[in-house]
């Protein structure tokens, strides 16, 4: 598939835009991500409160060096939003699960909300929990 074909598919389908977003991290392709992110883009996570495009690239893009792959658990579209639950696989083998909500407009990401998940395997035993009072 040519790059121009990937872009035209992405513009027609929010799920394709979402997949392209994660693939840019896997491929370390900043120019692909640059084309996917709208000028009025915002990013929110437990650590970031609606940061703008410039701050996102400065703060978040360097993390691409640690990304090896993503395994999609759920990709669900609701009009211009895509709800994604995925397992991120780091270059060091660490696996974590997040859920993210991506808002797509005209083939570009307008907004991303990230909800951090847990490490895999889970730190708590099945049927158990982690006592927050003893965590530092």
Report the number of distinct structural domains present in the chain. Answer: 1
Of the candidates 17, 21, 42, 38, the one whose C-alpha atom is nearest the C-alpha of residue 30 is 21
Task: Report the mean per-residue pLDDT for the chain.
Answer: 90
Is residue 130 a part of any domain in this protein?
no
Which secondary structure element, helix H or strand E, spans residue 7, and what is its range? helix 3-12
CB contact at 8 A, 95 and 87: yes
Q: Which of 9-18, 66-75, 117-126 has the lowest average pLDDT?
A: 9-18
Question: Is 136 within a domain?
Answer: no
Domain enclosing residue 22, as ranges: 3-122
Residue 76 lies in a domain: yes
pTM of the model: 0.84
Q: Does the structure show a pLDDT above 90 at 118?
A: no
Taking CA 18 as the corner, what is the angle to CA 43 and CA 55, rounded to the nearest 5 degrees? Answer: 25
- Domain membership of residue 73 (yes or no) is yes
- CATH assignment of the domain containing 38: 3.10.450.50
Q: In this structure, is residue 134 part of a structural domain?
A: no
- What is the average pLDDT across 73-79? 97
Q: Let me know if 43 is exposed, middle or buried by CB neighbors in 10 A (0-12, 13-18, 19+).
A: buried
pLDDT tens digits along 33-75: 999 999 999 999 999 999 999 999 999 999 999 999 999 999 9
Percent of the chain residues topping a pLDDT of 90: 76
The reported pLDDT for the residue numbered 41 is 98
């Amino acid at each position: 598939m040519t790059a121009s074909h990937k872009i035209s598919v992405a513009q027609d389908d929010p799920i394709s835009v979402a997949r392209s977003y994660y693939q840019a991290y896997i491929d370390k392709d900043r120019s692909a991500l640059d084309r996917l992110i709208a000028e009025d883009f915002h990013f929110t996570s437990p650590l970031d409160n609606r940061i703008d495009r410039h701050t996102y690239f400065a703060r978040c893009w360097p993390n691409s060096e640690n990304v090896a792959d993503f395994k999609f658990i759920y990709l669900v579209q609701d009009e211009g939003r895509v709800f994604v639950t995925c397992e991120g696989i780091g270059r060091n083998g660490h696996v974590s699960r997040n859920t993210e909500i991506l808002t797509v407009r005209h083939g570009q990401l307008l907004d991303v909300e990230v909800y951090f998940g847990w490490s895999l395997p889970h730190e708590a035993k099945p049927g158990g929990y982690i006592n927050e009072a003893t965590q530092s």
